[in-house]
Chains A and B, each alone.
Chain A
Amino acid sequence: MPQPKVLILRAPGTNCDAETSFAFQTAGGKPDVLHLNRLLESPRLAADYQILCLPGGFSYGDDVAAGRIFANQIRHHLNDVMQEFRVAGKLILGICNGFQILIKSGLLDADDSEGPSASLAWNDSHCFIDRWVHLQAVEGNCVFLAGIQRLILPIAHAEGKFVARDETVLDQLEDAGQLVLRYTADDNPNGSLRNVAGMCDRSGRVFGLMPHPERFVDPTQHPQWTRLPEIAEGAGLRVFRNAVGYFS
């Protein structure tokens, strides 16, 4: 199989598209960055790609709520395309704002008869925060986390607190193996329920996470690299390698 093609979708206010593209490229993928308007005009464009990525940023300013307006555009105009993409066994990744969009657009299998059952709300601190966090992956079928147990990555968000309608919903999502990425118990930066930092759909092929793996691709991105033994590459790159490797 040739290099998988990666569609990196940017909307007004998306701002992590360049470094996310670089991460996919470094991992061996073939990324294109495309404005959301192009996909709205020609939804069929998506069919050319194996991986779809919604990068970080402030789509539409995060006005009203983070990711909401972009998510509604998916619900209103791109739902069929997205479902076809999933059914075809392809991969979807949402990072930070991309995760907020995925969860609010219903692509993470978190909607039920009463509507969305999980969401991302304001941090407990009521404030934007940029810092590095320790993460733990839960063993399961998430393609992006294959072979990863522990990880350190930066977060940079104001609305990253994972919330669910109630305990039953949390249990269901947990039992279905969807709550695949957690902050370590002593390093939960935003008050997320069950320390959830990222979740996937039931197939494990659609994954959203608040931390930024594309910000730990180069060893010198680590906040303590001047005091740690040298490493060959940033640990976040593994997430992109997993995605690209899935098609080879």
Chain B
Amino acid sequence: MLWEIDVHPRRDNSGQDALDREAADVAAVAAELGIVDDLSIRSARGFLVEGPALGNDQVDRLAAELFADALVEQTVAAPIGDQRLLQPPQPTDQGATLVQVLLKPGVMDPVAQSAEAAASDFGLSIDAVRTLRKYWIAGASEQQLQEISSRILSNDAIEQIVVGPLPFDRLQLGCEYQFELKTVPLSGLDDEGLRRLSREGQLYLQFAEMQTIQRYFAELQREPTDVELETIAQTWSEHCSHKTLAGRIAYRDQQGERQFENMLKETIFAATQTLRTRWGEDDWCVSVFRDNAGVVRFDDKHNLAFKVETHNHPSALEPYGGANTGIGGVIRDTIGTGMGAKPICNTDVFCFAPPDTASHSLPPGVLNPKQVMRGVVAGVRDYGNRMGIPTVNGAVYFDERYLGNPLVYCGNVGLIPRDKSFKEPQPGDLIVSVGGRTGRDGIHGATFSSAELTSESESLSGGAVQIGNAIEEKKVLDVLLAIRDRGLYTAITDCGAGGFSSAVGEMGENIGAEVWLDRAPVKYEGLSYTEIWISEAQERMVISVPEASWDEVHQLCAAESVEATIIGRFVPTGRLVLKYRDQVVADLTMDLLHKGRPPVIREATYLPAPPQALVLLPQEDYTNDLSAILGSYNVASKQWIIRQYDHEVQGGSVIKPLVGAQMDGPGDAAVVRPVLDSRRGVVIACGMNPHYGQFDTYHMAASAIDEAIRNCVAVGGDPSRVAILDNFCWGDCEKSETLGSLVRAALACHDLSLVLETPFISGKDSLNNEFSYLDDNGEKQTIAIPATLLISAMGQIDDVSHCVTMDLKAAGNLLYLVGVTKDELGGSHYALIHSQAGGSVPTVDAAGAKQTFVSLHGAIKQGLVASCHDLSEGGLAVAAAEMAFAGGFGAQLDLSLLSVADDSLSTAARLFSESNTRFLCEVAPDQAEAFEKQLAGIPVARIGQTDAHARLVIQESPDGRTLIDADIAELKQAWQQPLNW
């Protein structure tokens, strides 16, 4: 029998409501989106509970003791169909429309799963539980109601709306699967037929690849089965094989032509290889560009694993679920590195369109950027916090071109014992799936993420969108670390894009594998063998277990309520054989999968943008400009986001994302101490500058690298122990100029890495970040994202007690500017707030940067620096303002004292130029001599001092003109207000 238990905010007898926060939130968003002001709405949460012998008493007990807290909530419990379930909470609401929101069947519902177990613990026989949300809305028009339902209450990718009573009286899911082997006729297809099959079958393979597959099966004199075709498509997908960047590229720029056989290998990997050879015995890289994450040395007992992934396309369609599973996925990457790392912190970087983009200007199929941002932040929050992994670092960038294609980068650092850093599955090992069950979730995620988004994507690929279940992953993590430490498996990897197909295919690449698909535990009946094989259901890991260890593995998992199932065996055949109930449904050679893809050959061209002067009129006063930059979305305080993340769990927090006298200043990098009885720290930072890419992606990449490293150095990180990751998010790389701009960025990565001696240890790319739609005239419009390279840095520090923060510490201290200021306002925030194009983009003097980093690190390590802040967006003026208001002290600076490349440098450039490799340092007078001595040979200038006046005053000698004079509280207000949601 099916019952419903509704949980309402408690209302007292006077008719006065308790706070209905859910309703208040919906009403606020409805007003914000301009749908309706002062919406009259009430909300409740509902639980559908099905059990063969459930009666009134039992349901009432569940309502009182499980589902509701009588102190703040009240319940309505009744069999489905009962009128009481439809009644509005208050008699005064008569006539309100009831809108019910349910997850679509098969979408992950963690609360329902937990509730089912918890209800059973009452000694009741429970078949199933589902959750729903209910809203009673009054006084809205039909049109408004429709808009509220579809744009605020639900997301069509995962949820369904029911207006009025529920149209079912049982919770059955799935139906029995009738096995039928499906083959796909390939032999007779002409060119157009092959292209159509690739597109309509959601294989997203290129024509040459389809031809190769056709030839392979022609030689075998048979047609492929559906699952064979899916396996090849997934293994060869851009997402899994990185065929463009690791492919052949003919690159041409003003200096001539260059042929790459494997572009990534010959640029970024090559630099790391050169460094490792140069270091010889001192090489501190352990495993680079081969495992799920890059691994470097940490201390005598541990290594560190680091990986950053993107989850852009799912987040565009369903921000919460996309970000949720994005962070869940990258955490599995480090768990699946070597023999398994323990995740110790997260970093998350997002790119959105400005949150104040008008709703009516959005193209079809595009979600409001503010809602996207809220959903993404909530998705990361709910997964990271539940996993107990502190989210310590991040950044958010805004640009209109991220409108249809927001970027969500999720990163994770793991700690791994030195002797567990490598894996090798053995022939004969059992293939064991650990964790969540397999469902229809995320079918075609790997191939979908390699396609361009369109306004139709939602209906086409809704199955690729999922919700995560963090607690399942936490359970898997806990038990796998215990199993790892007992040495019971020989290899581990995660089920990410491509599901079992990708995990088993990669693990068995050098051996061969036989998989028994009918053994995989499923969430519900009715899954075909193909669905089981390519499902991207979350929270699953695959381990290879020697037969003798299986019993112990199984027992350990069972002891922590984690499901572990044998689904096959690694057999030394060099083939991938899939069986369903003993029937062979696929039989492919590993060679075809991993070496058979025809090389992708691409043209790439780079044409330098013609130089353009930046025209800016000199001003008398720049205080308003400073406030405007502080209040621009990129620079503004991200406190609203940061405080929603648990950044202190695991107890190793040393430098938090917000620092200073009021704990609200913007720290340059986070520091954590992952081993609680050690003083050694890990530093996490990032660098990114999409606005420089329009000028030159080489300098954009160089600037991002410099920024990521200088953020590490600013808090005390050792510049000789910084490892970095590249994450390229680009547009359609079949366009030669787009690919050319990417190659040029990769060349910069190579060059900078070598000179700075900073190795890249892992990376990832996401191409085709373009959104297309039909405009009002029926013409196809495409928005491509700006070239966006995220550089994530993981530094180390011997003793965390040497760390410094960016907040001013005392009055009467000296301020030194380290580094040279140049006329580099191109792409700067000063140019942005004045809506001016042109100018020179910041460049990096890599050799000089290396010296500066090493010298400054020495000064910080000796305790000579009271505070230190890197100069980035907004240049010197913004850095000085942030240091002042974070510390609660004033500062006076004289711009004529700067180290400059050219004495005629304009006042605006002195204030706001974003030249790289610069730091503003606070030094106590009695340390000044030692500080200057330590920085001998480095461009450094004493440019001012701190005071107790709570004002930032910037002048320029010789005439002593005051250019900025502002109350630091007002500057802080300008900086905090824009994103203070």
Interface residues of A (CB under 8 A from B): 10, 12-16, 18-19, 22-23, 35, 37-38, 56-58, 60-65, 68-69, 72-73, 75-76, 104, 115-119, 121-122, 124, 126-132, 154, 156, 163-165, 212, 214-215, 217-218, 220-221, 223-224, 226-227
Contact = CB atoms under 8 A, between A and B. Distances in A.
B72 A119 contact: yes
B243 interface: no
Given A18-B651, A61-B111, A121-B69, A130 B805 contact: no
Contact of A64 (B67, B385, B887): B67
A23 B70 CA distance: 35
Given A129-B643, A221-B648, A64 B805 contact: no
A124 B70 CA distance: 18
B927 to A, nearest CB: 15
B439 to A, nearest CB: 18
Nearest to A227: B809
Contact of B118 (A16, A38, A64, A165): A64
Nearest to A22: B676
With most chain B CB atoms within 10 A of its CB, the pick from A56, A128, A132 is A128
Contact of B648 (A104, A121, A212): A212
Contacts of A38: 559
With most chain B CB atoms within 10 A of its CB, the pick from A75, A126, A129, A220 is A220
Contacts of B661: 224, 227
B653 A215 contact: yes
B644 A128 contact: yes
B643 A226 contact: no
Contacts of A75: 65
Interface in B648-665: 648-656, 658-661, 663
A13 B651 contact: no
Interface of B: 19, 21, 25, 64-67, 69-72, 110-111, 113-115, 117-118, 121-122, 381, 385-388, 469-471, 474-475, 478, 559-561, 642-656, 658-661, 663, 673, 676-677, 800-801, 803-805, 807, 809, 867, 887
B648 A72 contact: no
A156 B648 contact: yes
Contacts of A63: 110-111, 113-115, 118, 471
B71 A226 contact: no
Contacts of B676: 18-19, 22, 218
A176 B956 CA distance: 66
B793 to A, nearest CB: 20
B654 A220 contact: yes
A84 to B, nearest CB: 22
A64 B45 CA distance: 10
A72 B65 contact: yes
B648 A130 contact: yes
Contacts, number: 176
A87 B592 CA distance: 69
A64 to B, nearest CB: 6
Given A61-B470, A164-B71, A227 B805 contact: yes
Nearest to B24: A126
10 contacts: A19-B652, A58-B385, A61-B469, A64-B118, A76-B122, A154-B648, A156-B646, A156-B649, A220-B801, A227-B887
With most chain B CB atoms within 10 A of its CB, the pick from A35, A56, A61 is A61
B888 to A, nearest CB: 10
- The 3 A-B pairs at the shortest CB distance, nearest first, are namely A15-B388, A19-B651, A63-B114
A121 B644 CA distance: 17
Contact of B653 (A131, A164, A221): A221
A64 B649 CA distance: 23
Given A23-B651, A35-B559, A64-B115, 6 more contacts: A13-B386, A19-B651, A128-B646, A215-B653, A221-B651, A223-B658
Contacts of A68: 66, 69, 118
Given A15-B474, A35-B559, A116 B651 contact: no
A53 to B, nearest CB: 14
Contacts of A12: 471, 474-475, 560-561
Contacts of B114: 60-61, 63-64, 69
A57 B560 CA distance: 16
Given A58-B471, A64-B67, A72-B65, A127 B653 contact: no
B118 A60 contact: yes
A127 B25 CA distance: 11
Contacts of A56: 649
B121 A226 contact: no
Contacts of A163: 71-72
A13 B800 CA distance: 29
A73 B663 CA distance: 39
A63 B651 CA distance: 24
B804 A226 contact: yes
Contacts of B804: 226
A121 B72 contact: yes
A223 B110 contact: no
Given A61-B111, A131-B663, A126 B25 contact: yes
A38 B643 CA distance: 35
A212 B648 CA distance: 10
Nearest to A21: B676
Contacts of A118: 71
Given A131-B643, A132-B663, A119 B121 contact: no
Nearest to B386: A58
Contacts of A116: 69-71
A119 B474 CA distance: 27
Nearest to B807: A227
A87 B515 CA distance: 56
A13 B474 CA distance: 6
A194 to B, nearest CB: 15
B800 A220 contact: yes
Contact of A13 (B66, B471, B654, B659): B471
B803 A226 contact: yes
A224 B66 contact: no
Contacts of A227: 660-661, 805, 807, 809, 887
With most chain A CB atoms within 10 A of its CB, the pick from B64, B69, B652, B656 is B69
B645 to A, nearest CB: 6
A23 B652 CA distance: 12
Contact of A220 (B65, B70, B113, B673): B673
A70 to B, nearest CB: 9
Contacts of A72: 65-66, 118, 121-122
Contact of A16 (B71, B117, B388, B561): B388
A180 to B, nearest CB: 20
A5 B667 CA distance: 40
With most chain B CB atoms within 10 A of its CB, the pick from A104, A118, A218 is A218
Contacts of A14: 388
Contacts of A13: 386, 470-471, 474-475
B312 to A, nearest CB: 25
Given A64-B66, A64-B67, A119-B71, A57 B21 contact: no
Contacts of A58: 385-386, 388, 470-471
Contacts of B64: 115
Contact of B651 (A10, A35, A64, A215): A215
Nearest to B715: A226
Contact of B644 (A37, A129, A164): A129
Nearest to A77: B121
A214 B651 contact: yes
Contacts of B71: 116-119, 121, 163-165
B66 to A, nearest CB: 6
Given A13-B471, A22-B651, A221-B648, A122 B805 contact: no
Nearest to B65: A72
Contacts of A156: 385, 646, 648-649
Nearest to B389: A15
A35 to B, nearest CB: 6
Contact of B110 (A61, A73, A121, A164): A61
Contacts of A64: 66-67, 111, 114-115, 118
Contacts of B656: 223
